[in-house]
Amino acid sequence: MALDPELRKKLQIFLVGAIVLAGGRTAYIVYERHQERKEAERPKQEKALSADFYVLPKKLHAHDLKSARELTKQPVWVKVGYGYTYYPYDPARHKTDFAHEVGTLGPLQKLEIRDVIAEAAPHGEGAKQVLAKFDLDGKPYVVPIGVEKDGDYKIYADDMFFIEDPHELYKHWPTEIWTAIEKHEVHPGMSELQADFAIGLGVPGSGPYGSRTLKYPNGGKALVIVFQDDKATEINPGS
């Protein structure tokens, strides 16, 4: 049965309108979801664009004593404060007193490495400690930076030291941030990395990097710091 031309025209107009309406609704839903995804991804994008993520500290990739002695060619700065124990060294006997720990190296402590040596480790069963020699207050000390056994070296200097001045590496940080770091203080708004530079490595609780609570031994002056969006929001004394 043939449709009346007028009815056919009205039906076509109705179908076109329905299609346009459905298309508009679909486009709106797609737009809305795109906006939601953009908002969800914004923190990741901001984090990825942070200048800190473009800092690539130089590494030595030391694999034996000769390459490790490249540490003597410039000052070094301690990456992990209160994480590395150092010992007295007797230059006359060429001997380390492993029985008496002196202390731990502080956050961003600057050292002049005089030499890198290997010495039999106590109870090492044939292994040797790779030791970096330095002076503090005119006295000689060593800090272990690796091990050697049967000619196989494992050297961790790149994890322990910056061989470039951190002030230059992170020169985009404001002056007040560096002032707080040099005083070994953490202020609200500082990032996890800045807190690490100021008071050493923290022990993290649960949660993603930048949004979690960390306990900092801080060389015996413990602190508990809450971070949100990689900014310190609460700073309290620890036990």
Q: List the one residue out of 117, 48, 131, 50 whose CA is nearest residue 84.
A: 131
- DSSP-assigned letter for residue 11: H
Binned at pLDDT 50, 70 and 90, residue 125 comes out as confident
Q: List the one residue out of 111, 128, 107 whose CA is nearest residue 119.
A: 128
pLDDT digits (tens, 9 = 90+) for 7-21: 444 444 444 444 434
- As given in the structure block, the two tokens for residue 84 are 């590395």
Neighbour order of strands in the sheet with 110-111: 110-111, 76-78, 161-162
Query: Distance between CA atoms of 110 and 125, rounded to whole angstroms?
Result: 33
Query: Distance between CA atoms of 148 and 150, rounded to whole angstroms?
Result: 7
Whether residue 218 is contained in a domain is answered as yes
Whether residue 151 is contained in a domain is answered as yes
Strand partners, 154: 147
36, HSE (Cβ side, Cα atoms, 13 Å): 6
Binned at pLDDT 50, 70 and 90, residue 197 comes out as very high
pLDDT of the residue at 47: 46
Whether residue 57 is contained in a domain is answered as no
Q: Looking at the predicted structure, is the pLDDT value of residue 36 above 60?
A: no
pLDDT digits (tens, 9 = 90+) for 212-222: 999 999 999 99
Residues in the chain: 239
Binned at pLDDT 50, 70 and 90, residue 30 comes out as very low
71 in the same domain as 146: yes
Q: Which amino acid is at 14?
A: F
Total domain count, the chain: 2
Its domain, for residue 103, covers 65-162
158 in the same domain as 182: no
Comparison of pLDDT for 239 and 89, the residue scoring more: 89
Burial class (CB in 10 A: 0-12, 13-18, 19+), 201: middle
If you average pLDDT over every residue of the chain, what do you get? 85
Whether residue 49 is contained in a domain is answered as no
Comparison of pLDDT for 38 and 149, the residue scoring more: 149
Whether residue 167 is contained in a domain is answered as no
Angle between helices 192-199 and 175-182 (to 10 degrees): 40
199 in the same domain as 125: no
DSSP states of 202-217 as a string? -EE-SS-TTSSEEEE-
Whether residue 70 is contained in a domain is answered as yes
Q: Looking at the predicted structure, is the pLDDT value of residue 117 above 80?
A: yes
